[in-house]
Amino acid sequence: MTVKELIARLSTCEKDADVFLGAPERSAEIEDVCTPVPEMVFLQDERKPRPAGSILEEAARIRSGERNVDYGDAVESFERVAEIANAITGLSLTPAECCKVLIAVKLTRERYNHKRDNLVDACGYIEILHQIEERTLNDNDNDNEQ
């Protein structure tokens, strides 16, 4: 299965992720979890204060602050994510491809129900994707110079 096919399948519903991870017997259980409960979503949103400012600024603030402290360098984190995803799926996903899958998850959630957090996280993942690509280009340039 190609990465494009994986992303296409994931965009149908997040429950498909477990099927890819080799747990089709859990499909019914996962379907129950994916069943929408609009009232709960509405109440949850109602209690959350709406942050002011740009989603880009919020994503940058989160990435450079609490998330960076909690989880370390994002590029290195996605290198580990790719290793784990490859071990689970038997695929050869790159850190950039893993990042794209998470962007797809956030866009899928946004398509179902708008939440600012979906867009903030998607922006954060897009910035991480940019950093992954830039580091890859720099590493390739350094390899070529040697």
The token pair that represents 114 in the structure block: 């708008």
Q: Is the pTM of this model over 0.75?
A: no
What letter would DSSP give residue 21? T
For residues 25 and 124, give the distance between their C-alpha atoms in angstroms, rounded to a whole number. Answer: 34
Assess whether pLDDT exceeds 90 at residue 84.
Answer: yes
Domain count across the chain: 1
| pLDDT for 110 | 96
Please tell me the predicted confidence (pLDDT) of residue 112.
95
Mean pLDDT of 2-18: 54
Is the pLDDT confidence value at 72 over 70? yes
CB 124 within 8 A of CB 59: yes
Instruction: Kindly state the tokens that stand for 146.
Output: 């040697």
User: Hey, is 135 helix, strand or coil?
Assistant: helix
Confidence at residue 69, expressed as pLDDT on a 0 to 100 scale: 81
Domain that holds residue 127: 3-145
Say whether pLDDT at 26 is over 80. Answer: no
